[in-house]
Amino acid sequence: MDKNKRTICVFCGSSLGRDATFAEAARETGRLIAAHGYDMVFGGGGLGLMGETARAARDGGAKVTGILPAFLRDLEPPLARGEDVQIVPDMGTRKRQMLALGDAFLILPGGIGTLDEFFEVIVEKQLGQLPKPIVLLNLDHCYDPLVDLLNHTASLEFVRPNLETLFRVAHSPQTAIRHITRVLDSRSVPSSG
């Protein structure tokens, strides 16, 4: 990754979901990442929303880095061209590298793996180990049940009630990128190494 450019780490599904609006929002997210001068790091697969976002970012001029566990190389093959693919031994290493490379984290719709990555970053942030912006892109309210669950656990005093300090909920790619840009611009230097 270029030390002078900021990098958005994108977590999202390796499938497209049932609604075409998810794929279009993924492409728009990739276009916006590139248009705002960011690079992108992601899970490395060329399928689903991951592939849609990465291709759009790459086509817009962003450097795209995929972190792909060796055992997924055949299940989630990387993009055909224009992607720096780093093969790692396992999922834990993948997440650690993505957290280290990302200056901000953007979570699009996805399945269990995406939820795992989301929880990884908010736990790290809650523990003071990840002082980076996190945005949950709640397209068509797909994450409403998740946000409701987190608010419910906060009401039971199992989660700190100030969830808004851990992550921001956005309903469009534009709002998500705008929030990330505002937070990153308020800092003097990129935090990725």
125-147: string of b/e by CB count within 10 Å (b at 16+)? bbeeebebbbbbbbbeebbeebe
In DSSP terms, 43 is beta-bridged to none
Q: Which domains does the chain have, with CATH numbers?
A: 7-185 (3.40.50.450)
- Compute the distance between CA of residue 189 and CA of residue 73 in angstroms, rounded to an integer: 34
pLDDT tens per residue across all 193 residues of the chain: 556 789 999 999 999 999 999 999 999 999 999 999 999 999 998 999 999 999 999 999 999 999 999 998 877 777 767 678 999 999 999 999 999 999 999 999 999 999 999 999 999 999 999 999 999 999 999 999 999 999 999 999 998 878 889 999 999 999 999 999 999 999 855 555 4
Chain-centre distance of CA 60, in angstroms?
A: 18
Order of strands, edge to edge, in the sheet holding 39-42? 84-88, 64-69, 39-42, 7-11, 104-107, 134-137, 168-170
Q: What is the pTM of this model?
A: 0.92
Of 164, 113, 109, give the one whose Cα is nearest residue 141: 109
SS3 call for 79: coil
Residue 152 sits at φ, ψ, to 5 deg, of -65, -45
Q: How far apart are CA 117 and CA 109, in angstroms?
A: 12
Please tell me whether residue 11 adopts helix, strand or coil conformation: strand
